[in-house]
Amino acid sequence: MLRTLQRVLRAQIRNVATAKETAVSLSSKSEITSELFDDVLNRVNQHDRTIEKILITFQDKNGDKKEFLMNKNISTPYHCLKHVNMLLAKKAVLAIVSYPNKDAQIESMNEPFLDECQFEVADFQTEQYAQLVNQTYWRSCSILLAAALKKGLKDNIAISRLHAEVPQSFFAADIENLTSELSPTDLIDLSIFIREDFIGQNIPFETVTLPSDMAADYGFDSSLRLCRLRDYVTAVDGPVISRSDQIGRFRIVKAVSKEGFTRVGGVSLPSALKCSSFAWEAIVENASDKIT
């Protein structure tokens, strides 16, 4: 059932932590290729054209401001923070971006700036944006799960739907074309594979927004936000985390055979937070009971 797993992790996953529960769910549209993502990114970035410089203002939690001359449609909040403090860049989960004459909007740290603006950031300790951070984290875990299933299973599966059921305390991916059931051993091996080949590799969650004036060129009716993790691309209904190493404890806890598909569900805790092994096992058991 599984592809060969190299450098299998034997050690226990270290202490990490949790997020409060809020409602969010997303469904993937038809699978989008990595090549399409590159094409959209190139068009949005206006490759082969003159790069336009824009002034970006970052405001820290103390209200202090720093200004950066960045590249329009290319530079991101993550790029800016690397000039401030690399630790801050690694911790930041969301960017709260304020464009002139517009309401502040919540963006992924890897989403390119569209124009001159001011921004601040939220991490896993920012109480003001806790609900949005939780939604973002759960959404990102479902994407990582889907990407890992596509790569880790030898069957040519299709991802039909992603779930980020924060109130239900689990995330999941519905997969089709699985030729046999996933055993408990398969789920353990997949969880180890995810730790080794995804979480431990510091992979960026790349994002780009397909503008409405380009949507018809790709067969879509309206503007669309795309996310890519390695070669897996999906449409998303909100922001995602910055990089895979922001994910800490991660376990696939259940695979449920349904009519025409299999639902694979899991649970996770951010690497920035702390949790005892006892509490983690309780979280895992709770998620297993709720995945149906």
CATH number at residue 102: 3.10.20.30
Q: Are residues 83 and 166 in the same domain?
A: no
Same domain? For 220 and 147 the reply is: yes
Gap between the Cα atoms of 119 and 64, Å rounded: 12
**Residues 134, 108 share a domain:** no
What is the distance between the alpha carbons of residues 89 and 202, in angstroms, rounded to a whole number? 13
Give the residue from 83, 108, 129 where a domain finishes: 129
Q: What is the pLDDT along the chain (292 residues), one digit of tens a residue?
A: 444 333 322 222 232 333 333 222 333 345 689 999 999 988 887 765 788 999 999 999 999 999 999 999 999 999 999 999 999 999 999 999 999 999 999 999 999 999 999 999 999 999 999 999 999 999 999 999 999 999 999 889 999 999 997 888 899 999 999 999 999 999 999 999 999 999 999 999 999 998 888 888 888 888 899 999 999 999 999 999 999 999 999 999 999 999 999 999 999 999 998 899 999 999 999 999 999 9
Total count of domains within the chain: 2
- Residues 267 and 202 both lie in one domain: yes
Is the distance from CB of 159 to CB of 147 less than 8 angstroms?
A: no
234/143 Cα distance (integer angstroms): 8
Which of 105, 129, 153 is the endpoint of a domain?
A: 129
Both tokens of residue 34?
């990595």
Tell me, yes or no, if the pTM score tops 0.85.
yes
Residue 133 contacts residue 122 (beta carbons within 8 Å): yes
CA 276/CA 18 separation, integer angstroms: 11
Please indicate, yes or no, if residue 170 is contained in any of the structural domains.
yes
Other beta carbons within 10 angstroms of residue 253's beta carbon come to 22
pLDDT, residue 30, reads 52
111 belongs to a structural domain? yes
